[in-house]
Chains A and B, each alone.
Chain A
Amino acid sequence: MLKRLLPIAILSALALAAPQARADDDDLDRLRDAVSRGEVMPLSALQDEVRRAFPGEIIRVELDEDDGRFIYEFKVLQTNGRLIEIEMDAKDGRVLDVDKDDDDD
């Protein structure tokens, strides 16, 4: 019985630990195509970039598409409790903005 429960608990914990992503389904389809064509970097690579530059826990990943340009917004909760928002160009992993104050989108 214990053995049956354990994997469930682990899976749930993993599910909870994964950052929530916010994006439209259409955006995601186009993103996938762009990634497969090699025009933009995959999320895994960008996340590594974020983790390297801003140590902490990625608690949210959002995606904006602007004229075919994909912009990621990462929310990172650092170990000292500081919440930072990072905008990153999906094409080359360039950090566009950190700690954007307004949240109008």
Chain B
Amino acid sequence: MNGDIQTERPGRRPLSIRARFLIISLVAVPSALALAALFMVSVFSANLERRLNAELTGHINNIAASLRFAPDGSPERPAGFFDKRFGDAYGGLYWQIGDDTSPARLRSPSLWDFTLAPPADQPSDGRVLHYDTAGPDGTTLTAQQRQIMVPTPAGLKTLRITVAADRKPLQDADYRFAFDILPYLAGLALFLIGASLIQVVFGLKPLAALTSGLDRIRERRGGRLDGVLPKEFEPVENSVNRLLDAQAQAIAKARARAGDLAHGLKTPLTILSNDALTLRQKGEAEMADEIDRLVAMMRAHVEAELARSRIVANAELRQSDADMDKIVGQIVRTLKRTPEGEALIWQVETGEPADVPLDPHDLRELIGNIVENAVKWASSEVTITWKNRRLTVTDNGPGVDPEKIRSMTERGVRLDEQVPGTGLGLSIVKEICTVYGLTLSIENRQQAGLQVAIAF
């Protein structure tokens, strides 16, 4: 039943939802993590910076507390610094004390042959000045300077204490930190992207239910989409259901009208048939024959239309299931009594009693049409077999032109193209097969005759 509505494929589909989500997470996750990494590194860096500044302030205080003065008031080299870096040449940690006579009156041994440049703006209010300055050997230093007033044997003296540290260890620490967190961030990125994919796959799963629901409706096994989808699809579900309801109503109305029309034609046809009889009695045999032939054709159409209008609209509307064995038996009994049927050999094998999911009326119509056709064409024998949920009806008549078989099983052959007696019964058979999703196959037998099979 699949593929009978071949819609033309649009030139280009919009990007799949999975691809959309993947692209979003491929862009969003790395940028979010890159931002997070920048933030973490900057927090780390700020903390190191704070720590370094506290260390430098501590060194200034320590130097201030350790100041000694000669009797003439000149400062003596402070003693008692324990940080080894103050003593090593270009050790990375420096101090310098300046007074009125020189901005670099005393220097730490680590400065060696270098002097710290004074800051552009020297505060005189005792505030600690923070600034970056050039250090020895092309290094950049973080420096603090503070002006202090110290009592000396020669009275109050103003000194500037500068302490500076190389920034390189800070930068190194930043890089190391960034490098250290990299594998964690990469792992996190993979995890998040994977999670978003799982989310999409899981989230889109109900779409399969939508597809199968629509397939069920197309195959007429269901009338509506009901509650098989998540809440988000409720509007779609409702729209589809409204559409289906409208369609079902339109179909029901059309059926009813076709039925009414067929019914309405029955009486005029009877009258017409009587008129033909009158004509024949008046000696107009030729015209009477013509009218009879037309009446027969119209009657066949009317009967077929009435039969079609009685088929249920979809499989779920059936009154009950049908008993295959019983219905085949009834049909065979009826047809055996007809003049054509009496002359035939009947081979009926319905050993498996089984209920099939068809309305009993529809099953009777279905099998009746097939068997009637077989009886019509059989030269001596009709075989009916019900086995493995497959009903096969064969005759030993002339069979059918292979070209015609194709058009017989073709879908969408219009009823009015068909000639009464050769196709109308088949059109009902096809209609019933469509409603219940049964597979109909028609083929010529290797020996003489035709075989019609229906898989349930």
Mark A residues whose CB is within 8 Å of B: 1-2, 5-6, 9, 12-13, 16-17, 19-20, 57, 59-60, 75, 77-85, 99-103
Pick the most buried of A77, A83, A99: most chain B CB atoms within 10 A of its CB: A83
| Residues of chain B in range 44-63 having any CB-CB distance to chain A below 8 Å | 44, 47-48, 50-51, 54-55, 57-59, 61-62
Expressed in whole angstroms, the minimum distance between the Cβ of B76 and any Cβ of chain A is: 10
Interface CB pairs A-B, < 8 A, 9: A5-B44, A9-B48, A59-B62, A59-B64, A60-B65, A77-B61, A81-B125, A83-B148, A101-B151
Provide the B217-232 mask, 1 if CB < 8 A to any CB of A, else 0.
0000000000000000
B40: Cβ under 8 A from any A Cβ = yes
Q: Known pairs A83-B150, A84-B151. 15 more at Cβ < 8 A? A: A1-B177, A1-B181, A2-B43, A2-B47, A5-B47, A12-B55, A13-B51, A17-B57, A19-B61, A59-B65, A79-B126, A81-B126, A82-B148, A83-B148, A101-B151
Expressed in whole angstroms, the minimum distance between the Cβ of B129 and any Cβ of chain A is: 11
Give Cα distance in the complex from A4 to B181, angstroms.
14
Expressed in whole angstroms, the minimum distance between the Cβ of B136 and any Cβ of chain A is: 24
Provide the B22-55 mask, 1 if CB < 8 A to any CB of A, else 0.
0000000000000000001001100110110011
| B interface SS class | helix
User: A83 contacts B64, CB within 8 Å?
Assistant: yes
User: A2 contacts B68, CB within 8 Å?
Assistant: no
Q: Which residue of A lies closest to B63 (CB)?
A: A59
Residues of A within 8 A of B61 (CB): 19, 57, 59, 77
Residues of A within 8 A of B149 (CB): 80-83
**Cross-chain pair count, CB within 8 angstroms:** 78
User: B50 contacts A13, CB within 8 Å?
Assistant: yes
Contact A83:B151 (CB < 8 A) given known A2-B43, A60-B65, A78-B126: yes
Give Cα distance in the complex from A13 to B53, angstroms.
9
Give Cα distance in the complex from A75 to B63, angstroms.
12
User: A16 contacts B58, CB within 8 Å?
Assistant: yes
Contact A20:B62 (CB < 8 A) given known A9-B47, A9-B50, A12-B55: yes
| Residues of chain B in range 145-202 having any CB-CB distance to chain A below 8 Å | 146-153, 177, 180-181
Residues of B within 8 A of A81 (CB): 125-127, 146-149
Q: Which residue of A lies closest to B181 (CB)?
A: A1
Number of residues from B at the complex interface, CB < 8 A = 34
Residues of A within 8 A of B181 (CB): 1
| A interface SS class | mixed
User: A13 contacts B54, CB within 8 Å?
Assistant: yes
Give Cα distance in the complex from A81 to B55, angstroms.
18
Expressed in whole angstroms, the minimum distance between the Cβ of A8 and any Cβ of chain B is: 8
Give Cα distance in the complex from A1 to B183, angstroms.
13
B456: Cβ under 8 A from any A Cβ = no
Residues of B within 8 A of A9 (CB): 47-48, 50-51
User: A80 contacts B58, CB within 8 Å?
Assistant: no
User: A100 contacts B43, CB within 8 Å?
Assistant: no
Contact A2:B40 (CB < 8 A) given known A9-B51, A16-B54, A57-B61: yes
Give Cα distance in the complex from A84 to B150, angstroms.
7
Residues of B within 8 A of A16 (CB): 54-55, 57-59
B69: Cβ under 8 A from any A Cβ = yes
Expressed in whole angstroms, the minimum distance between the Cβ of B361 and any Cβ of chain A is: 79
Question: Can you list the 8 inter-chain pairs with the closest CB atoms, starting with the nearest?
Answer: A81-B126, A16-B58, A60-B65, A13-B54, A59-B61, A80-B126, A9-B51, A59-B65
Question: Which of B48, B151, B153 interacts with A85 by CB under 8 Å?
Answer: B151
User: A103 contacts B68, CB within 8 Å?
Assistant: yes
User: A12 contacts B65, CB within 8 Å?
Assistant: no
User: B126 contacts A17, CB within 8 Å?
Assistant: no
User: A102 contacts B153, CB within 8 Å?
Assistant: yes
Give Cα distance in the complex from A90 to B267, angstroms.
135
Q: Which residue of A lies closest to B57 (CB)?
A: A16
Residues of B within 8 A of A59 (CB): 61-62, 64-65
